[in-house]
């Protein structure tokens, strides 16, 4: 049974990527998107009387060369995004193999403004123990 991680911690420096103190290699591409939730409050004329922007967060995607002896990072590991001066949380990682080329990793991460997180520190990550399955009641 897998554990549940409650978000709340690795390091994007121009040209290299580092997760939890392990330098992986050269960053080949990266994107940073500021996004959030949006909700319109309608008026009685079919338009909006106001529009609410909330839950601001960054979505980060990067591809880097990944040495063969390095373990894949886990969901919930910290990644520092130095260009934004924030710490983000890895939400997914995928190894990519191409014939005759270096092994690569694709990392997705997020930083929620409301949770925060400083470079090198990041939000707190709490690992909760797995909940054992409850057997169905017997029909005795």
The pLDDT of residue 8 is above 70: no
Q: What is the DSSP string of the chain?
A: -PPEEE----EEETTEEEETTEEEEEEEEEEEEEEEEEEEEE-TTSSEEEEEEEEEEEEEEEEEE--TTSPPPPTT-EEEETTTTEEEEEEEEEEE--TTS--EEEEEEEEETTT---TTT-S--EEEPPPPPPPPPP--
> What is the band of 20 on the pLDDT scale with cuts at 50, 70, 90?
low
Is the pLDDT higher at 13 or at 123? 123
Query: What's the pLDDT at 59?
Result: 93
Structure confidence at residue 7 (pLDDT) = 40
pLDDT in tens, 99-134: 888 888 899 999 888 887 777 676 666 666 777 767
- Give tens-digit pLDDT for 49-70: 888 888 889 999 988 888 777 7
Q: Please provide the average confidence, as pLDDT, over all residues in the chain.
A: 76
- What value does the mean pLDDT take over residues 82-104? 85
Q: Is the pLDDT of residue 92 over 90?
A: yes
pLDDT category, 47, cuts 50, 70, 90?
A: confident
Please give the pLDDT value at position 13: 47
């Amino acid at each position: 049974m897998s554990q549940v991680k409650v978000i709340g911690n690795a390091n994007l420096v121009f040209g290299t990527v580092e997760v939890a103190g392990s330098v992986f290699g050269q960053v080949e591409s990266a994107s940073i998107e500021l996004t959030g939730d949006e909700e319109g409050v309608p008026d009685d004329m079919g338009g909006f009387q106001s529009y609410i922007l909330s839950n601001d967060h960054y979505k980060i995607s990067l591809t880097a060369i990944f040495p063969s002896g390095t373990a894949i990072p886990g969901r919930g590991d910290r990644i520092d995004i130095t260009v934004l001066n924030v710490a983000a949380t890895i939400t997914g990682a995928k190894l990519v193999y191409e014939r005759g080329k270096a092994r690569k990793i694709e990392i997705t991460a997020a930083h929620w403004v409301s949770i925060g997180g400083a470079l090198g520190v990041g939000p707190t990550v709490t690992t909760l123990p797995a909940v054992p399955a409850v057997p169905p009641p017997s029909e005795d």
